[in-house]
């Protein structure tokens, strides 16, 4: 899951289901998930925004050595 703050609102993105929401329970509520780790990236002084060009997010999910 990717979480970011824009216009003082938290947005949640699930790359496995390509779902974007402002309510984390929309993503976590119907899954049996345990968050075991997280990372933080901070950006400052962004002067110009860019439109999202491609949101297909073609990432392989590997669980137990088997691609899903």
Taking CA 42 as the corner, what is the angle to CA 37 and CA 44, rounded to the nearest 5 degrees? 175
Beta bridge partners of 66: 63
Per-residue model confidence (pLDDT) at position 68 = 46
Please give the residue range of the domain that contains residue 1.
1-68
Backbone angles phi, psi at 50, to 5 degrees: -130, 145
pLDDT digits (tens, 9 = 90+) for 27-56: 777 667 677 777 888 888 888 888 878 777
Burial class (CB in 10 A: 0-12, 13-18, 19+), 39: exposed
DSSP state of 31: S
Per-residue model confidence (pLDDT) at position 22 = 92
State how many domains the chain has.
Answer: 1
Residue closest to 61 by CA, chosen among 20, 16, 31, 19: 16
Per-residue model confidence (pLDDT) at position 64 = 58
């Amino acid at each position: 899951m990717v979480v970011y703050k824009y216009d003082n609102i938290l947005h949640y993105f699930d790359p496995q289901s390509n779902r974007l929401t402002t309510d984390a329970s929309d993503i976590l509520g119907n899954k049996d998930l345990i968050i075991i780790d997280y990372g933080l990236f901070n950006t400052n002084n962004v002067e110009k925004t860019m439109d999202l060009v491609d949101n297909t997010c073609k990432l392989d999910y590997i669980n137990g050595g088997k691609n899903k």
